[in-house]
Amino acid sequence: MSQNPKNPFTWVEIYVEDMSRAQKFYESVLNIQLTPMETPGDFGDLEMLCFPWAEGELNISGALCKTSDFKPGTGGTLVYFASKDCTTELARVEAAGGKVIQEKFSISEHGFVALAMDTEGNTIGFHSNQ
C-alpha cells in the first residue's frame, strides 16, 4: 500500500444521446448547474457540459458527453453521486424523466446507496452515510 494514499479518480464522463434532455435530468435530480465546456483539441463532434468543480479542493469532476464515438447504456461503469441522504436525489428521478431501479438500501458500515436510470439509459447510483 502506498505511503501517501490518494484517490486515483480525477474525471468521469457520462455519455448521452440527447444533451438538453440529459442536462435537465442531472440539474433537476442533483440540484446543480452544469456549465458548457470547451472541447480540448480536435475531438470531432464531442459536446461537453461540466459538473461543478471546486478549484484547489480534493474532489473530482466530470461531464456529460455527447459524441458519435461512445454511446450511453447499462452494463458499463456505474457512477455514484455523493449525497447527504440518497433518498433526496432518488425522489427527484422520475419527475426528471428517469427511472428508480433500486430504492435506498444499506451497505452495512459503508452507508446507503440507491440506483436509478437516467434519461439516456445509463445506470447511476447515489451514496450517503445516512
Taking only the tens place, the pLDDT of each residue in 34-64 is 999 887 677 788 999 999 988 888 788 899 9
pTM, whole model, 2 decimals?
A: 0.87
Q: Is residue 6 part of a domain?
A: no
Separation in Å, CA 126 to CA 5, 45, 123 = 24, 30, 11
pLDDT at 1 > cutoff 60: no
pLDDT at 21 > cutoff 60: yes
Q: What is the reported pLDDT for 2?
A: 52
Q: Is residue 55 part of a domain?
A: yes
Considering its fold, how many domains does the chain have in total? 1
Q: Is residue 124 part of a domain?
A: yes
Q: Is residue 3 part of a domain?
A: no
Q: Is residue 5 part of a domain?
A: no
Q: Is residue 90 part of a domain?
A: yes
Q: Which whole number is the average pLDDT over 106-122?
A: 95
Q: Are 27 and 33 in contact (CB under 8 A)?
A: yes
